Structure 1
Amino acid sequence: MGNITLTDIKKNNYSLIYNLLYEQEKLSKQEIANQLHLSLPTVTQNLVALEEAGLIKKGGQFESQVGRKAVAYTICLQAGIGIGVEILKKQIRILAVDLKGRICGCTEQKLLYRNDDAYYKEIAGFVSTFIRESGFMKKQVLGIGFAVQGLTTADGQEIIFGKTLGYTGLKITALSRYLESPCMFLHDAKCAAATELWNRRDLTDAIYLSIGKHLGGAVIIGGQTVMGKQNHGGAVEHMTLIPKGRQCYCGKSGCMETYCSVNALLLEEETLEEFFTGLRDGDKEKKRRFDEYLDHLSTAVNNLHMVMDCDVILGGHMAPYLTEEDLQVLHEKVREKSAFPDEQDFIFLSESAKDSVPVGAALGFVKEFLEEI
């Protein structure tokens, strides 16, 4: 290891002070000095530098019984903004998150997918309009993440497997040529898992199932999603559940996708809202369908649990409709199939299912920005 220089120490102090303010939100100069065991001149110098960089600001004053009131410092939440775009077959959802990962603007546009330049130009136009109308300046926008139902290269520059909408081989330049900020593609299920990890800092090992119109998955080990050698780690949707079963869009048959996705549960043109409203009202046909669906899902969950022996988190568009009673039924079905007597529950609903995909698409840029301070 090389010698630590004065520049390294200054950079470290700068980062320490910012990170302390990030975690505690509002502190006085003296409180910062006390907590970090730094001199007041050092703290003052770094606060001035952080303020000049637009990263922090004075946020009022603390009450004091005697003497002058201490100035409170806080971070500028919108010093950097991440943009996330979820591309679906019939619409796109665009949102912005601040440095805490909180949504600070969103919009949805009806737009039928088509693989041509006019479509990508239209998406870029919607994104540019959203950024402008939200009042964000170019320097604030850290990057734009496009969440897709497919596998991407590690650098997010190309979709390498995208049979759901037929965009295998699509390069990010189809969109980035019309935009001013860095752009990248991201797998939608990995985005959802990233949001879960952001909101649950205690999460270490888990399997994340994103149950939307299509199924997706992510394997989380040590608080990180595992991508694997060829970047398709966690693609549980194409594990064979029923040999020679239903035809899958991937060209194979019997995949988990064809039994555990939202499309596998719903009839043509039926919505999740309609299905679960009928189910909760006692519709016998919907109850039969849901019971069959849970049978298949329990087989899939049991197989995954046998391999990983960790929590299984259910997210995606279906998660908000599921109840604790549904989870208990699922647990019982899994226990009937399991070789081991698991006493503790290990299947949980996502704590951040709503907008988890576009939020996760934006968070990567925010995380990178924070790590560089």
Structure 2
Amino acid sequence: MENITLTDIKKNNYSLIYNLLYEQEKLSKQEIANQLHLSLPTVTQNLVALEEAGLIEKGGQFESQVGRRAVAYTVCPHAGIGIGVEILKKQVRILAVDLKGWICGCVEHKLLYRNDDAYYKETADFVSDFIRDSGFGEEQVLGIGFAVQGLTTADGQEIIFGKTLGYTGLKITALSRHLKYPCMFLHDAKCAAATELWNRRDLTDAIYLSIGKHLGGAVIIGGQTVMGKQNHGGAVEHMTLIPGGRPCYCGKSGCMEAYCSVNALIHEEETLEEFFTGLRDGEAEKKRRFDEYLDHLSTAVNNLHMVMDCDVILGGHMAPFLTKADMDILQEKVWGKSAFPDEEDFIFLSETARDSVPVGAALEFVRGFLDGI
């Protein structure tokens, strides 16, 4: 207590008032004082400071039976904007979220990935155009998160394992030199898990599987993604599922990636939409393929559940196509392989599968900004 200064107390009050408004949407000065047990002068002083900083605004007045109506204060969601960019083999998806995590703009460009400066400049130009066309001021943009199909350094400055598109060793300067905002690389599966955590504040322990063209994973413990010693925690896609099995892009054989990704289910020129349309129409060949796929996925899920007795959340591009009947079949297959008599469902679909990757990349900067208030 002796080390706490007056500045610390002021900063704490400032943060407490902002966070209370952030959580409760709209409050009067008196309500803030009552809930935080602060004096009205202290609350008034901090509200003025927050308003001058552009973080809050007056949002009308509360109804009152007698006397003057109290002014309502609320946060300004657009005081800070995070930009998320998902880099895929054939396209770039750019999205913006505000301080509430609400999507406030999205655009997609067809662009074949190339590991050269012309590609990075073109991508950066797309991002700059998106920011300009969305009407965001430079002071609003908190930073740009580039979600990639690979592992990155803890500070997001380099891709340390990116064999899917061949960008291992790529530094963020390839993109940031063309932009005027803070930039970082982020693992796409970790971004998807971050979106899930943002939207489900009750989520504590889980294994998140992002089932896209390639498979990705994230381990959530205590409401946080766990990266591990070498920053590749949760890379379940490279766990061996079938020794000596199908080749994986990592150079090994039999990885979960080779059996549980979207690429493992559909043919090269086939889309998920085409596959599931045929499956729902009763096409026997697609039913056989899907049943075999669920067999492999159930083995993978059972193995993961044996390690961590927690929920398994399925997200990624495949999640929107899966029905309750599909999930019931998968759960039954897992129970049939489990050593324990589990009775409760523990496999669930992501609640935020669509756009979860670019949203999570943008939220990295939003979360950092909020933590600093």
Q: Structure 2 matches for 1:121-140, cutoff 5 A?
A: 121-140=121-140
The answer for the alignment partner of 1:118 in structure 2 is 118
The separation in 1 between residues aligned to 2:20 and 2:363, in whole angstroms, is 20
The answer for the alignment partner of 2:38 in structure 1 is 38
2:121 equivalent to 1:149: no
The separation in 2 between residues aligned to 1:117 and 1:285, in whole angstroms, is 44
The separation in 1 between residues aligned to 2:220 and 2:301, in whole angstroms, is 15
The answer for the alignment partner of 1:270 in structure 2 is 270
Residue segments in structure 1 that go unaligned for 5+ positions in a row: none
How far off its partner does 1:3 sit? 2.5
The answer for the alignment partner of 2:29 in structure 1 is 29
The answer for the alignment partner of 1:215 in structure 2 is 215
**SS of structure 2 residue aligned to 1:263:** coil
The separation in 1 between residues aligned to 2:157 and 2:244, in whole angstroms, is 35
How far off its partner does 1:37 sit? 1.2
The separation in 1 between residues aligned to 2:359 and 2:187, in whole angstroms, is 13
How far off its partner does 1:2 sit? 4.3
The separation in 2 between residues aligned to 1:28 and 1:129, in whole angstroms, is 39
2:88 equivalent to 1:88: yes
The answer for the alignment partner of 1:11 in structure 2 is 11
AA at the equivalent of 1:257: E
Residue segments in structure 2 that go unaligned for 5+ positions in a row: none
Q: Deviations over 1:169-192 (max 9, x none)?
A: 000000000000000000000000
The separation in 1 between residues aligned to 2:325 and 2:246, in whole angstroms, is 29
The answer for the alignment partner of 1:237 in structure 2 is 237
The answer for the alignment partner of 1:300 in structure 2 is 300
**SS of structure 2 residue aligned to 1:139:** coil
The separation in 2 between residues aligned to 1:185 and 1:337, in whole angstroms, is 38
Percent identity (aligned):
88
How far off its partner does 1:283 sit? 1.1
Q: Deviations over 1:304-333 (max 9, x none)?
A: 000111100000000001011111100110
The answer for the alignment partner of 1:324 in structure 2 is 324
How far off its partner does 1:261 sit? 0.2
The answer for the alignment partner of 1:63 in structure 2 is 63
Q: Structure 2 matches for 1:191-206, cutoff 5 A?
A: 191-206=191-206
The answer for the alignment partner of 1:345 in structure 2 is 345
How far off its partner does 1:9 sit? 1.2
The separation in 2 between residues aligned to 1:71 and 1:269, in whole angstroms, is 59
The answer for the alignment partner of 2:372 in structure 1 is 372
**SS of structure 2 residue aligned to 1:265:** coil
AA at the equivalent of 1:263: N
Q: Runs of 4 or more off by more than 3 Å in structure 1?
A: none
2:169 equivalent to 1:169: yes
AA at the equivalent of 2:306: M
AA at the equivalent of 1:260: C
The separation in 2 between residues aligned to 1:221 and 1:27, in whole angstroms, is 34
AA at the equivalent of 2:56: I
AA at the equivalent of 1:239: M
The separation in 1 between residues aligned to 2:29 and 2:309, in whole angstroms, is 47
The separation in 2 between residues aligned to 1:89 and 1:8, in whole angstroms, is 48
Q: Choose 143-152 or 28-37, whichever is displaced more.
A: 28-37
Q: Deviations over 1:275-323 (max 9, x none)?
A: 1111111111111100000000000000000011110000000000101
How far off its partner does 1:63 sit? 1.2
Aligned length: 373
Q: Deviations over 1:29-48 (max 9, x none)?
A: 11111111111111111000
AA at the equivalent of 2:53: A
